Amino acid sequence: GNSVTQMEGPVTLSEEAFLTINCTYTATGYPSLFWYVQYPGEGLQLLLKATKADDKGSNKGFEATYRKETTSFHLEKGSVQVSDSAVYFCALSVQYSSASKIIFGSGTRLSIRP
Amino acid sequence: GAVVSQHPSWVICKSGTSVKIECRSLDFQATTMFWYRQFPKQSLMLMATSNEGSKATYEQGVEKDKFLINHASLTLSTLTVTSAHPEDSSFYICSAFIAGLTDTQYFGPGTRLTVL
């Protein structure tokens, strides 16, 4: 079946530290991969996505590369800020009729210390 | 960007009552909307897929008679939690697609339901 596994949190880092949140997936076919972010008190927002192998998604200093050989889509940022504190969800999409279902990982809570 | 709204943002109700949650796409048409449920500090669980003008498709284990979904127009889907019980207390989130952009979902801000 289709599933997403991401590292458990919470992850606590100091400001300007390097961030990696691991994500691996299992899927039939060729899914698109996503990272969503949920800031405190807000709804989910798409952070970045990649639609095929070796694609790199990037946004707001975050990056993730679609690695088919390792079935991974790890999220990285070179220097985190306090404002990056949020819950991050790795996800994949599977085609369903005319739209796509999204399957989410369990989420990783990130806290950044000033 | 595309905006999806939900109403109400939070609701408290007594056990045994029914609660309706609305999901609207404000500036685009959405032939397909999804309803999710999120428990505290957990991931989103897909409950059902709502298609405009047809019956919703429910995920395994989701009671369709308890969670009634209606998608009467291209901009509105509703989720009604019937005869709510405390275990139905949760955060309910909808998402919508822009027609033609099948990979891009836009999420509503969620509705927190508390059943006393």
How confident is the model at residue A98, as a pLDDT? 55
pLDDT digit of tens for each residue in chain B (116 aa)?
678 999 999 999 999 999 999 999 988 888 789 999 988 777 889 999 988 888 899 998 999 999 999 988 889 999 999 999 999 999 999 998 776 655 678 889 899 999 99
Once rounded to an integer, what is the mean pLDDT over residues A3-27? 94
Does the distance separating the beta carbons of B46 and A103 come in below 8 Å?
yes
Tokens of A52: 């095929």
- The Cα A15–Cα A82 span in angstroms is 6
Does the distance separating the beta carbons of A104 and B44 come in below 8 Å?
yes
Determine phi and psi for B86, rounding to 5 degrees: -55, -35
Determine phi and psi for B69, rounding to 5 degrees: -120, 135
Name every chain B residue with its beta carbon within 8 A of the beta carbon of A101: 34, 46, 49
The answer for residues whose C-beta is within 8 angstroms of residue A91's C-beta and 6 or more apart is A4, A33, A34, A35, A36, A102, A103, A104, A105
B78 touches chain A (CB under 8 A): no
Number of inter-chain CB pairs under 8 A, A vs B: 55
How confident is the model at residue B55, as a pLDDT? 87
- The Cα A41–Cα B31 span in angstroms is 28
The dihedral formed by the CA atoms of A35, A38, A39 and A40, expressed in degrees to the nearest 10: -150
B32 touches chain A (CB under 8 A): yes
B92 touches chain A (CB under 8 A): no
Name every chain A residue with its beta carbon within 8 A of the beta carbon of B41: 107, 109
pLDDT tens for A28-55 read: 888 999 999 999 877 788 999 999 999 9
Report whether pLDDT(A20) > 90. Answer: yes
Environment class of B65 (CB within 10 Å of its CB; exposed 0-12, middle 13-18, buried 19+):
exposed
Tokens of A91: 């996800």
Report whether pLDDT(A104) > 80. Answer: yes
How confident is the model at residue A9, as a pLDDT? 85
A113 pLDDT band (50/70/90 cuts)? Answer: very high
pLDDT tens for A50-88 read: 999 999 999 999 999 999 999 999 999 999 999 999 999
Run of H or E including B91: strand B90-98
Determine phi and psi for B88, rounding to 5 degrees: -85, -10
Task: Give the chain A residue whose CA is nearest to the CA of B48.
Answer: A101
How confident is the model at residue B64, as a pLDDT? 92
